[in-house]
A = this chain, B = another copy of it.
């Protein structure tokens, strides 16, 4: 397995693969990999000649006072995991090479970035779309794999790829959960024991909502209320948002129909977690 730190070398590698007619699958990550990331890599491995995994904790997608400094990092651990899956390259650039002095360019997707996590984290998606544009131009993937835990991120990236005509196919992949239901996240490691237990309130409230929709509930406000009450009953949890929206436009729904996304962001102690379910109603 190759480890490439230099952006130009990464691009040269991918241009070389293209010239050989090889397809490149790409899994962008911020490292501290978990089973969710590994599932993306495994799918990329099945569908491409070559798999590139990037590990880069991207400063521009963290706001003031967010957890950039304490975001977990462990390159040796990540390296072993990526090698275990059989990926071909880890792209592991440094901040100074990705955002050199005199850096000035940003990519913005309007409207759908103002909602959900975009409302709580101004500038977050601008950081995401900018780094993903940069990575796409360096890695030159045919297919890129994103986890649906960040459902809004997937919607934003798909919109950007369509609008800017990137020659990349976006492959959204299902959320991977711990046995007890907690959605896998690199941030879970920052939860203390009692917080880890409290964090189950996210997935449980979503599964409850799924159950009530299965029994015929179609009023978005009722679903929101039920989820909100359940989360509020957990003393360690503080709601950022509970949203019932169209999975296509991310617009609030009154009545559930079509592609429905129920998305949560909840702070458990100091750790902000997100989770969601998507369903066809």
Contacts and interface: CB of A to CB of B under 8 A. Distances in A.
Interface stretch (A77-85, A100-108, A179-187, A188-196): A100-108
Interface in A84-113: 103-112
A105 B107 contact: yes
Contacts of A166: 137
A44 interface: no
A166 B130 CA distance: 12
Contacts of A104: 109-112, 159, 163
B133 A167 contact: no
A267 interface: no
A105 B113 CA distance: 11
B167 A105 contact: no
Contacts of A263: none
Contacts of A112: 104
Contacts of A111: 104
Given A18-B18, A19-B21, A21-B19, A164 B109 contact: no
4 smallest A-B Cβ distances: which pairs? A105-B163, A137-B165, A104-B110, A105-B109
